[in-house]
Amino acid sequence: MPDDNKPLTSEAWKWIVLILFLAFASMLFHLKLNNFDNTTLAFIGVPAVLAALLAVSGTPATVEGRYMKATTLGILLVGILAAEKFAFLLVIAPLAWLLAYFRAQAQEKLLRERAAAQRAVASIQANAPASGPTASPTTQTVTTSTADQAAQPTPFSSSQLAAAALTPQQESDRVRRKKLTLVGICLSFAVISISGRLIYLHHLETTSLMFIGIPTTLAVLLALTVRPKSAMATVMTGITFVLLLSAIVFGEGVICIVMAAPIFYVVGAIVAALWEGARAKSGTARLMLAAPLFLMSLEGSHKQISLPREQSVTAHATIAARARDVEAALAAPMHFHTKLPAYLRMGFPRPVATSGFGLEPGSLRTIHFAGGEGKPGDLVMQVAEVGADHVIFRAVSDHGKVAHWLDWQDAVITWRPADDQHTEVFWTLHYRRNLDPAWYFGPWERYGVGLAGKYLIDNLATPEK
């Protein structure tokens, strides 16, 4: 019977102390910078909670499981210190897991070869004729030489040694596991497909139910139904299938798949690592370890369990022009003449046509977005306020794909002379975040909006020469 009441090991306590220390240090750092709020607490708390769950889950039985758990713990510990940069760290996480996987495979291959060599030596020694007093020196020499040759693994190829390390029963179990893995993945994918359609039906596709709930459910289903030798490999395979087929099943575009992939893999890896480390525990106990992830998946499903959505990002640039020239550039018809930043060219809609001019209150600006993901649509902004050193554009409507991810509210542009020939321009964009979880999509949206603000300064506030 599994022992669910086994006390924590000293190693687990060391990990917990380290996690608490890093979380406390990160909170003190952000308090010192005077930017500690509920969102920052989520940035620190999410990786800390996940790391603590991994620490108490136990030691995985396989070499691969131990490597993957150590790698995931390392990523989460860095995430505690990185706080709002944790979302960007997740982009390189799959590469870290891939390296850990290959290292674990090499280690397991070496262990199998050693076991096969020892089996071969034992078999030869057991079948070799015993050398008695009457045995000739020639026989003794041949026997010794044969044993010495058998002790060396070099005459055996890797495939022969791997096959020798498996008994017929083990080989049968291996084939059976492969078949069960395929069946489990198919059944799990069917459940995920139905769940996804229900999420879309209730318009919850931008919440954590999609980006945390789906991968958590998939990972748990695979671990429960397949019962694989390596939960990590099976979960990662299943998630890869889901991501590749989501364009067909859910109609998602490339940019959505690319942005969702890191968090899907992270959640799947954490569940798999928990399962690997808690093999000695009952199924109920392992589900309890995954419970915090299911709770995290509720973020955004209701306004009472959502983190603050109102956001603002300010871009700043010093332009080689006088203040009145900057104002004239803002009043002129819009013209986008520079290349979009690489991040904004990843599949996001692009501005392809514009209309409107002037800074009189009520003047309209229309930007037509097309290309990339989603159907073409227009963003309409209206001049709401004008001053000697500022202008405010307020969003009237947005029928583009960007409205699926965030809602534009207004753009506040201010300027001030830096010297006789230079002007400082500040472009502040206010918007409402529509994607959850905030600790993952919040930093990505702020990064993209910051790039957009700088792009707008370069194209709309800088006089063309």
Q: Rounded mean pLDDT of 166-172?
A: 70
User: Which residue is listed with tokens 């070799």?
Assistant: 128
How would residue 313 be classed by pLDDT, with cut points 50, 70 and 90?
Answer: very high
- What's the pLDDT score for residue 2? 44
Can you list the positions of beta strands (E) in 335-405? Answer: 350-355, 364-370, 377-386, 390-398
**pLDDT value at 94 more than 80:** no
Q: Is 55 exposed, middle or buried (0-12, 13-18, 19+ CB in 10 A)?
A: buried
What pTM was estimated for this model as a whole?
A: 0.70
DSSP state of 84: G
**pLDDT value at 447 more than 70:** yes
pLDDT tens-digit readout, 108-123: 778 878 888 887 777 7
- What's the pLDDT score for residue 6? 58
Q: Rounded mean pLDDT of 130-142?
A: 47
Share of the chain above pLDDT 90, in %: 20
Q: Rounded mean pLDDT of 243-259?
A: 68
Q: Which residue has the higher pLDDT, 382 or 180?
A: 382
- What's the pLDDT score for residue 146? 43
Among 458, 460, 445, smallest CA distance to 84 is for: 445
Beta strand 350-355 with 364-370 is antiparallel
**pLDDT value at 190 more than 90:** no
How would residue 440 be classed by pLDDT, with cut points 50, 70 and 90?
Answer: confident
Q: Rounded mean pLDDT of 244-254?
A: 64
Rounded Cα distance between 83 and 80, Å, is 5
DSSP codes joined into one string, 9-29: PHHHHHHHHHHHHHHHHHHHH
**pLDDT value at 135 more than 50:** no
**pLDDT value at 181 more than 60:** yes
Enclosing H/E stretch for 426:
strand 423-433
**pLDDT value at 384 more than 90:** yes
**Range of weakest confidence among 235-249, 375-389, 410-424:** 235-249
**pLDDT value at 174 more than 80:** no
**pLDDT value at 5 more than 80:** no
How would residue 176 be classed by pLDDT, with cut points 50, 70 and 90?
Answer: confident
- What's the pLDDT score for residue 144? 44
CATH 3.30.530.20 fits 309-461, yes or no: yes
Contact 418, 321 (CB under 8 A): no
If one counts every other C-beta atom within 10 angstroms of the C-beta of residue 425, the result is: 26
Distances (CA, A) of 381 to 247, 377, 409, 411, 436: 32, 13, 9, 9, 26
Instruction: Enumerate residues 6+ apart whose C-beta is below 8 A from 15.
Output: 51, 52, 55, 73
Q: Rounded mean pLDDT of 20-30?
A: 85
- What's the pLDDT score for residue 287? 63
- What's the pLDDT score for residue 315? 94
- What's the pLDDT score for residue 74? 84
pLDDT tens-digit readout, 61-86: 777 777 877 888 888 888 888 777 77
- What's the pLDDT score for residue 251? 56
For the chain, the average pLDDT equals: 78
Contact 459, 335 (CB under 8 A): yes
- What's the pLDDT score for residue 160? 44
**pLDDT value at 305 more than 50:** yes
Contact 431, 398 (CB under 8 A): no
Strand partners, 431: 311, 408
Which tokens hold the place of 125? 């020694």
- What's the pLDDT score for residue 211? 82
**pLDDT value at 430 more than 80:** yes
pLDDT tens-digit readout, 226-239: 655 667 777 777 78
Rounded Cα distance between 341 and 118, Å, is 59
Rounded Cα distance between 465 and 462, Å, is 9
Beta strand 423-433 with 364-370 is unpaired
Instruction: Enumerate residues 6+ apart whose C-beta is below 8 A from 387.
Output: none
Instruction: Enumerate residues 6+ apart whose C-beta is below 8 A from 370.
Output: 349, 350, 352, 376
Q: Is 274 exposed, middle or buried (0-12, 13-18, 19+ CB in 10 A)?
A: buried
How would residue 263 be classed by pLDDT, with cut points 50, 70 and 90?
Answer: confident
**pLDDT value at 199 more than 90:** no
- What's the pLDDT score for residue 134? 47
Q: Where are the domains of the chain?
A: 10-116+160-304, 309-461
